[in-house]
């Protein structure tokens, strides 16, 4: 159980580091910029796959931690 949790956590760290930054709006809060160029952009291709893998790994990590805490 702990080995699987370790593997999932390492994979989760790697896949999160591969994601592109989606916080363009956070920097505009302080600078006052109003660029709507990337606000309605949809994820496609590898970006969508990485996002879905991240969601699945995060869910698996959460469930394994929850099960391990009850055992």
**pTM strictly above 0.85:** no
**Spatial distance between the Cα atoms of 3 and 10, rounded to a whole number of angstroms:** 11
**Please, are residues 57 and 1 in contact by the beta-carbon 8 Å criterion?**
no
Model confidence band, residue 29 (pLDDT cutoffs 50, 70, 90): low
Give the count of domains, the chain.
1
Domain of residue 9, residue span: 2-70
Average pLDDT over residues 65-70: 92
**Please, are residues 39 and 25 in contact by the beta-carbon 8 Å criterion?**
yes
pLDDT for res 44:
79
- What is the percentage of the chain residues whose pLDDT exceeds 90? 49
């Amino acid at each position: 159980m702990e080995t699987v949790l370790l593997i999932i956590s390492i994979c989760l760290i790697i896949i999160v580091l591969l994601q592109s930054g989606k916080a363009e709006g956070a920097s505009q809060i302080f600078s006052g910029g109003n660029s709507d160029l990337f606000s309605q952009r949809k994820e496609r291709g590898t970006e969508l796959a990485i996002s879905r893998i991240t969601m699945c790994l995060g869910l698996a990590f959460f469930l394994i931690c929850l099960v391990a805490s009850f055992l």
